[in-house]
Structure 1
Amino acid sequence: MIFVCDVGNTHVVLGTYADGVLTNHWRVSTNRERTEDEFGMLINDLFKYAGLSFADFNGVVISSVVPSIMFALERLCTNIFTYSRLLSALILRPA
């Protein structure tokens, strides 16, 4: 399963894909001050609500136009997912 994040100036859209099919999606407000720990708690709560855990995922995709949130999500993913899982991650940086 793949965890995806699309960070915009107004909303952060999070989702999960299994076998190329969107299986869950959530939309939360963009808060540029949110830390990696706050994102971790938020995402963990969303996963629990859907019956998921971080261990269920083997890939991460992050797209962001907000550098401060990109940094927090990169650090969160580095701390939560194993090295082999991060090798399959695609992280897009704002231009």
Structure 2
Amino acid sequence: MRKVSPACPTCLQLDFVQDTLFGPVAHSAECQVQVAPLNLNGLPGLQMQVRAPVPAKLERSHSVAFVWEGRTYRGIVHYHRRCDDGGLQLQLELQ
């Protein structure tokens, strides 16, 4: 996987699932994203920086999937944080 520089966000279709009292609810949104590989205690992961505007339900999602450079990535959200610029940082454990 190539490392994307902070100056090069990529437009990706993000599919994400949010757990609710009524079960899992799937959502999808097109977002400007920067992706970088990440090591999560020996497990393969990705760090995603989603630029504003961020879909409202993405912050509360438990999993995210997307296609990047012809490959499908799926991951469980281990960490999320709102950024000062209105963006969202996610750390995903790849599945």
TM-score, with length taken from structure 2: 0.32
Higher helix residue share: 1
Answer 1 or 2: higher relative contact order, Cα 8 Å, separation at least 6. Answer: 1
Higher strand residue share: 2
